[in-house]
Structure 1
């Protein structure tokens, strides 16, 4: 039975609202994590707390989709290793050294890097619009990092942010081959978090964490905030709620539209860091940020469509971001 236009429009409005909510939730992760890092927690420990806490909350979904590890082991391993552990570890390590907005804008080079993989590794043609998107993103990044000043930010911090972008690219490439019909993106997220938590446990060694930090408070631009409240926000809002609302939004919108809305995450993160952490970006950096986002949007919308990628696969690809995550 065809869906009445009013119901369809209502569904799209709801989907758009959920996509905006997801972008807002994801955008607040770095702002909440940085005070915890500055209070004495290692960036890897903050990542472990985020992933392990979210994995625990999403555990019922993993049980519900317990056949996924047998059917899509490579996809789940790639999501856990790259999109969860890799992206988040690199991103949180980056924001311990450079501003939140800068780290996230560097990470948004991922769509442009994906096109580089398509053109030079897979040797598939890309459109002129896609090439323009890459050029705009690269030029915008040059403004964001202030190359004329000999890189105005910590070089290692910038390298870590670029590492987060590369981890996203790795997962995009993997999911392009590993997605398929019957793959529930919520199940992929649940198992990806479990895999990521296991990997991060071995690397972060949480038993060596200074747990007393969570019992105290952290400074957010001079304002004392309970550390546990910041952690709860990171786990429940910036991870679980952000993923779930994001997945539901893509089911009501197209992945392309939801992906465009998701770019607001960088804007949200930059504004929140400005207001809550006092991290100010200069006018050239803000202009460069706009170019990065425009270039990412063009690159994303110009990526060649693959007939073999189903709706489930496209949804899984969209939510590899994160900091995405």
Structure 2
């Protein structure tokens, strides 16, 4: 009995630590847009902010990439997919979106990804989905209509909304690509290794696209406005690289290894809530009551869509969520 009690206590502590790490990861990820938007408003192009974020994080995680260099030979498609879509595509479109629309709205639009994944499964792959999953899609789309105030002819910049939707589509592309590998058993790649290599791929791609050598980097030597308060631009960059990227990825992976993917998925939905709250407090981006209610419906629909089991006798649909959480779910339990 004493042994069983000890094991139970250890398990409870492990789950408690995992839950704390998952919440910390959601807070870290949710703060990326809040730190990036003042830099964009101060004069840096969204692509250049993304380049700084990805390149800085890639350099910090370079030792992990070296440690898992065998992935370059064994999983080139996965690394390319994560780097091109999960890193470069998602972040570039997201940062471009928040330069035109509120941070919380942009992230909520991205939460259409689970619905889009299920649409791919149902109409492109012609595989059945459960009624619960279909309900999740309907809820997510209906909630988003409230967030963007569709009854007022779209309450936000249409191009900004399209950019956020493009970020969601990049997530879908990554999910579909990564599912082709059929990872299972002992052949599952280490998620931190994939993230490290994906950041390197993203940094190379963004260097070619953003061409950072022509930018006036003196902006980083000054301050950026955060709803009337001045913050050092370099400090916001450190926030984006170390907290919103490196710490967010690492804690996310470790948390999923201590929790079930389903529990981690619930906590992951806090990311959009945290982003909206931080944007409200730090940037003064207020959402109306219908938008807040719509955001809650979007998150509920996204959670239902990504956690629903497939129809009996059908192949399991592609998992949905953010790319880094998809990688985390593929990790093995510590």
Q: TM-score, normalised by structure 2?
A: 0.91
1:197-208 to 2 correspondence within 5 Å? Answer: 197-208=203-214
Displacement of 1:238 in angstroms is 0.2
Matching residue of 1:25: 28
316 and 21 in structure 1: CA distance in 2 versus 1, 3 angstrom threshold: closer
**d(CA) in 1 for partners of 2:157 and 2:143?**
18
1:264 has 2:273 as partner: no
1:243 has 2:246 as partner: no
Q: TM-score, normalised by structure 1?
A: 0.94
**d(CA) in 2 for partners of 1:218 and 1:179?**
45
Q: Secondary structure at the match of 1:219?
A: strand
244 and 252 in structure 1: CA distance in 2 versus 1, 3 angstrom threshold: same
Displacement of 1:176 in angstroms is 1.2
Task: Please tell me whether the aligned partners of residues 255 and 318 of structure 1 are also in contact (alpha carbons under 8 angstroms).
Answer: no
1:273 has 2:279 as partner: yes
Displacement of 1:146 in angstroms is 0.4
Matching residue of 2:238: 232
Matching residue of 1:317: 326
Displacement of 1:255 in angstroms is 1.3
315 and 23 in structure 1: CA distance in 2 versus 1, 3 angstrom threshold: closer
**d(CA) in 2 for partners of 1:318 and 1:15?**
16
Displacement of 1:208 in angstroms is 1.1
Displacement of 1:178 in angstroms is 2.5
**d(CA) in 1 for partners of 2:60 and 2:118?**
35
State which of 147, 151, 154 in structure 2 corresponds to 1:148.
151
Cα RMSD of the aligned pairs, angstroms, is 2.0
Matching residue of 1:323: none
How many residues get paired?
317
Q: Deviations over 1:114-144 (max 9, x none)?
A: 1111111111110110010000000000000
State which of 38, 43, 49 in structure 1 corresponds to 2:41.
38
1:150-229 to 2 correspondence within 5 Å? Answer: 150-178=153-181, 180=183, 181-229=187-235
Q: Secondary structure at the match of 2:225?
A: strand
**d(CA) in 2 for partners of 1:308 and 1:284?**
32
Task: Please tell me whether the aligned partners of residues 250 and 315 of structure 1 are also in contact (alpha carbons under 8 angstroms).
Answer: no
Displacement of 1:182 in angstroms is 3.6
Displacement of 1:174 in angstroms is 1.1
Structure 1's consecutive aligned runs of 4 or more residues displaced over 6 angstroms after TM superposition are 307-310
**d(CA) in 2 for partners of 1:187 and 1:226?**
32
262 and 107 in structure 1: CA distance in 2 versus 1, 3 angstrom threshold: same
Displacement of 1:306 in angstroms is 5.8
1:106 has 2:106 as partner: no
Task: Please tell me whether the aligned partners of residues 52 and 194 of structure 1 are also in contact (alpha carbons under 8 angstroms).
Answer: yes
In the alignment, structure 2 segments of 5+ residues that lack a partner are 330-334
Displacement of 1:315 in angstroms is 7.5
Q: Secondary structure at the match of 1:124?
A: coil
In the alignment, structure 1 segments of 5+ residues that lack a partner are 321-325
Task: Please tell me whether the aligned partners of residues 76 and 188 of structure 1 are also in contact (alpha carbons under 8 angstroms).
Answer: yes
